[in-house]
Structure formats: C-alpha cells, structure tokens
C-alpha cells in the first residue's frame, strides 16, 4: 500500500526541470515492518467460528462431516458437568508434567555433561544423535513391556521424547557461550564450579528455554499418542473414544482442549523467558 502512495506521489510531482519549483523528496521507506495489531487475532478467530456456525446451521456444512462449534461447546459443557473433564484433564496433566519435568531435568544434566566434558561428548553425543530421530511412539510397545501398561509407559514415552531435544538444546547452548566470558572468569580466578554456575548456565539459558518450547509441543503430541494406546482417562483416550463412536462434537471438543493446553504451556514458557531473560533487551 505504501508502495502505491510512493509511486503516485512520484508521478504527481512532474519531473519539471524548473529549478524554482520545490518538490518533496518522494518517501520510499515504507513496508517490511511489522506493527503489533492486537485486535486482529480474536476477530479472525471469531469470524471463522461464526462462519462455521452459520454454515453448519444453514446445512451448507453437513453435520456428518463437521458438527457446529456450538455442539462441540455443548459436548465440552457436558464433559464439565459430569465431572469427567477434570478426570481426563488431570490424568493428562499428570503424565505431561511428570514426563516433561523428568525428561527436561535429565536432558539438561546430560546436555551440560556433553557441553563440559570431552569424554561425555565423545561417548554420549553419537548415541544421542542416533536415538533423537527415532519416533518415541514406535518404542511404546517396548515401554509397555518395561514399565507396564499403566502410567509408567506413558510417562516414559514423554520423558524420552523431551529428553533428546533438551540435551541437544543444552549442549548447543553451552557451546555458544561467549568464550571470552569464560576466559574472563578464569582470569579472575573463579573456580570451575563458579564458572559453570555463574557464566555457562546463564549463558546457555536462552537456548535451553527455546528448547523447552520444542520439547513441550513434542510432549503434547506424544501424550495423545500414548493415551490412544491403552489408557482409560486422558484427553487422548477421550478423543479416541469419541472417534470410535463417531461423536464428532466430542472429538472437536477434545482437540480444542489440546489446543488450549498448548497455548497455556507456550504462555507459561513465555513468562519464564520474560523473567529469566529480562537482561536481553
């Protein structure tokens, strides 16, 4: 748009050679900059919902293909009033929190070891590189044998799924810490532990936190996949059940729950970034 105005201004000022006529220098610096437009996102979201609702009610969208959003909302309300919402959500959150926390803690520990010790790097890094691309859900049957059909196998799937990206984010973060800062620490006689605690870990924190974003979304994907295999409760089990019964309103409700869960987690990580990385402008 600024493109057009610039062009029209340029043509409006005729290239007259008269030296007495002063004309403004045409502006051509516009565009390529993003302005935050806070109100656009909810409007788009509501517009899609409204169109969908209208389409469903007018019969343009067949109820067999896609239920109206109001029906999905009704299913959600049903779920809440029967108390099943908390049961499903609680089971899922428990698995997610335990699996992700353990996976992240182990991942940070291994990542630091790989980042700090040559022996750990030569020994563990090839292993991590070999196992990282394996879809952890493929290992679920194995985990069921090892950890039982109950919570163990589900938590283990999420744990392994978050472990590898966290390892890689952490050791890459350690590698990226400014060498000059480490040298500065050494030149002031800081102990090894102080250098790790006060220079390397805070320096790797941005990378670790962006690793969290990735590992959290992997965790949600694995959560649903694991719950689709032999779980009584959980959002994944709910979605699977709804799908088996072709209760599409419930299916949509379950998917909406997942999406809200993902948004909440990304908001929490955003808050953590704000707090821990406030030093970065």
Shortest reach from residue 191's CB to another protein, in Å: 6
Binding residue (CB under 8 A) for another protein from 25, 187, 244, 274: 187
Taking CB under 8 A as the binding criterion, the range among 86-94, 112-120, 195-203, 225-233 that sits at the site for another protein is 195-203
Taking the least distance from each CB to another protein, the nearer of 184 and 268 is 184
R_g of the chain computed on alpha carbons: 27
Taking the least distance from each CB to another protein, the nearer of 87 and 198 is 198
Residue 60 binds another protein, judged by CB under 8 A:
no
Alpha-carbon distance of 202 to 276, in angstroms, equals 9
Alpha-carbon distance of 266 to 209, in angstroms, equals 11
With beta carbons less than 8 A apart as the criterion, state whether 140 and 226 touch. yes
Number of residues that bind another protein (CB under 8 A): 20
Binding residue (CB under 8 A) for another protein from 50, 194, 260, 267: 194
Taking the least distance from each CB to another protein, the nearer of 186 and 259 is 186
Of the candidates 141, 151, 143, 135, the one whose C-alpha atom is nearest the C-alpha of residue 234 is 151
Shortest reach from residue 34's CB to another protein, in Å: 22
Shortest reach from residue 280's CB to another protein, in Å: 7
Binding residue (CB under 8 A) for another protein from 2, 62, 176, 191: 191
Residue 240 binds another protein, judged by CB under 8 A:
no
Taking the least distance from each CB to another protein, the nearer of 183 and 271 is 183
Residue 189 binds another protein, judged by CB under 8 A:
yes
Shortest reach from residue 192's CB to another protein, in Å: 11
Who contacts 221 (Cβ-Cβ below 8 Å, separation ≥6)? 161
Q: How many CA atoms lie within 13 A of 20 on its CB side?
A: 0
Residue 190 binds another protein, judged by CB under 8 A:
yes
Alpha-carbon distance of 251 to 77, in angstroms, equals 13
Q: How many CA atoms lie within 13 A of 89 on its CB side?
A: 17
Alpha-carbon distance of 234 to 260, in angstroms, equals 15
Residue 181 binds another protein, judged by CB under 8 A:
yes
What six digits make up the tokens of 258?
């997942």
Residue 180 binds another protein, judged by CB under 8 A:
yes
Taking the least distance from each CB to another protein, the nearer of 139 and 190 is 190
- DSSP class of 27: P
Alpha-carbon distance of 82 to 140, in angstroms, equals 31
Residue 198 binds another protein, judged by CB under 8 A:
yes
Taking the least distance from each CB to another protein, the nearer of 58 and 281 is 281
Question: Which residue is listed with tokens 């469903």?
Answer: 56
Who contacts 251 (Cβ-Cβ below 8 Å, separation ≥6)? 239, 242, 243
Give me the residues that bind another protein (CB under 8 A), please: 178, 180-181, 183-191, 194, 198-199, 202, 205, 279-281
């Amino acid at each position: 748009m600024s493109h057009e105005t610039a062009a029209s201004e340029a043509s409006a000022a005729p290239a007259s050679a008269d030296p007495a006529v002063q004309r403004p220098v045409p502006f051509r610096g516009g565009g390529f900059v993003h302005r935050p437009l806070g109100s656009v996102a909810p409007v788009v979201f509501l517009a899609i919902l409204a169109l969908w609702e209208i389409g469903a009610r007018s019969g343009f969208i067949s109820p067999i293909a896609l239920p109206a959003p109001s029906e999905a909302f009704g299913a959600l309300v049903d779920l809440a009033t029967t108390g099943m919402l908390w049961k499903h959500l609680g089971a899922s959150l428990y698995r997610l929190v335990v699996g992700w926390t353990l996976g992240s803690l182990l991942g940070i520990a291994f990542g630091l070891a790989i980042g700090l010790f040559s022996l750990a790097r030569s020994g563990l890094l090839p292993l991590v590189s070999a196992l990282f691309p394996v879809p952890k859900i493929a290992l679920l049957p194995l985990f069921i044998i090892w950890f039982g059909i109950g919570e163990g196998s589900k938590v283990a799937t999420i744990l392994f799924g978050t472990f590898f990206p966290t390892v890689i984010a952490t050791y890459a973060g350690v590698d990226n810490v400014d060498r000059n800062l480490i040298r500065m620490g050494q030149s002031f006689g800081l102990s090894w532990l102080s250098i790790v605690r006060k220079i390397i870990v805070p320096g790797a924190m941005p990378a670790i936190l962006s690793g969290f974003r990735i590992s959290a979304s992997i965790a949600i994907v694995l959560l649903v996949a694991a719950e689709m295999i032999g779980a009584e409760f959980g959002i994944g089990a709910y979605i699977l059940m709804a799908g088996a019964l072709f209760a599409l309103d419930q299916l949509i409700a379950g998917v909406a729950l997942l999406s809200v869960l993902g948004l909440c987690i990304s908001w929490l990580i955003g808050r953590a970034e704000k707090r821990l990385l406030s030093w970065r402008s």
